[in-house]
């Protein structure tokens, strides 16, 4: 039985979770702003106050973070507490990234939106795309026509890339070629309820997926078979990440669904962060090199 422990609450939409070697949890609040760090003692520090729309992040070789969202891909330097832009435009158009994952070469795989899903009123959907960003900032277009790009993760042998497309209600998988281009995009799995959001890969090649608007996180084996469904108290689990010394702590972050409606919102915000224990350890995530 996987028990859920609540670690923090009072956020709008939590995204981009990562856990460092000191067991500190980093996360963003997409709609209310801020990039936060929670220590094992429970104290929470706001590292980039007010910064909205951070959809994904990774640790950077040499310290700090690389994160992406509205405005492009940027690096946060822990020593100076400053933010440095890496890429902001592609072919003259401003970038709005969502989630991302690094690879062993220190590059970032990240998807962009073709429209702003956080705008009010929400514009008509338009397809986005999937990129690889190589240090120091080279953009490589990998795949077009992504309806609503979300979670990304590589398989243990690095030969597969998993990719949640919330717009098609599908987790897709690509073959990763030796030159790190992608081919043969095909369905990997569909969540039983809601839409696939963030994801995390374990050492056996299994994939945990947050089912946004489905009130659960689900685990698929490496062949796409649904193996486990874990209910979450809130309807909108948004992402998840492994942490802990044995990489068996599974952190689950959520959103407050009221921020996606048109009605006025009564405070306080209700999104929360949970932790449970997984039977199979998570796959270590490489560091970016920017």
Distance CA 132, CA 103 (A): 10
263-285 pLDDT, tens digit per residue, is 888 889 999 999 999 999 999 99
- Specify the pLDDT at position 121: 78
d(CA 187, CA 172): 4
Query: In this model, does residue 100 exceed pLDDT 90?
Result: yes
Residue 139 has pLDDT above 80, yes or no: yes
Report the percentage of the chain scoring pLDDT > 70. Answer: 100
**Which runs of consecutive H residues, i.e. helices, occur in the chain?**
none
Q: Rounded to whole angstroms, how far apart are CA atoms 46 and 39? A: 12
Taking a C-beta distance cutoff of 8 angstroms, is the pair 263, 242 a contact? Answer: no
pLDDT in tens, 10-58: 999 999 999 999 999 999 999 999 999 999 999 999 999 999 999 999 9
- Note whether 23 and 243 are within 8 A (CB): yes
How much is the pTM? 0.96
Q: What is the DSSP string of 172-220?
A: EEEEEPTTS-EEEEEEEE--SSSEEEEEEEBTTS-EEEEEETTTEEEEE
120 has pLDDT over 90: no
Adjacency order of strands within the sheet including 35-38: 14-19, 25-29, 35-38, 44-46
pLDDT value, residue 44: 98
pLDDT at 108 over 90: yes
């Amino acid at each position: 039985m996987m028990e859920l422990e609540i670690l923090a609450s009072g956020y709008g939409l939590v995204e981009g979770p990562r856990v460092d070697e000191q067991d500190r949890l980093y996360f963003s609040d997409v709609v209310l702003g801020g990039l936060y760090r929670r220590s094992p003692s429970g104290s929470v520090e706001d590292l980039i106050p007010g910064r909205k729309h951070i959809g994904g992040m990774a640790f950077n070789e040499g310290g700090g973070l690389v994160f992406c969202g509205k405005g492009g891909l940027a690096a946060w330097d822990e020593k100076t507490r400053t933010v440095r832009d890496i890429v902001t435009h592609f072919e003259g158009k401003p970038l709005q990234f969502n989630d991302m994952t690094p690879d062993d070469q220190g590059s970032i795989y990240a998807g962009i939106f073709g429209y702003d899903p956080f705008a009010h009123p929400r514009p008509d959907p338009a397809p986005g795309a999937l990129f690889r960003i190589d240090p120091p900032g080279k953009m490589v277009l990998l795949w077009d026509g992504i309806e609503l790009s979300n979670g990304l993760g590589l398989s243990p042998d690095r030969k597969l890339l998993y990719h949640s497309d919330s717009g098609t209600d599908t987790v897709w998988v690509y073959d990763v070629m030796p030159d790190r281009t992608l081919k043969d995009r095909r369905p990997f799995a569909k969540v039983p309820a809601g839409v696939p959001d963030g994801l995390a890969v374990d050492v056996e090649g299994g994939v945990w997926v947050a089912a946004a608007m489905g009130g659960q996180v689900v685990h698929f084996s490496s062949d796409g078979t649904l193996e486990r469904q874990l209910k979450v108290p809130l309807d909108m689990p948004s992402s998840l990440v492994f942490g802990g010394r044995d990489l068996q702590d599974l952190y689950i972050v959520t959103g407050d669904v009221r921020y996606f409606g048109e009605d006025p919102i009564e405070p306080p915000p209700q999104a929360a962060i949970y932790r449970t224990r997984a039977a199979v350890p998570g796959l270590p995530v490489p560091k970016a090199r920017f």
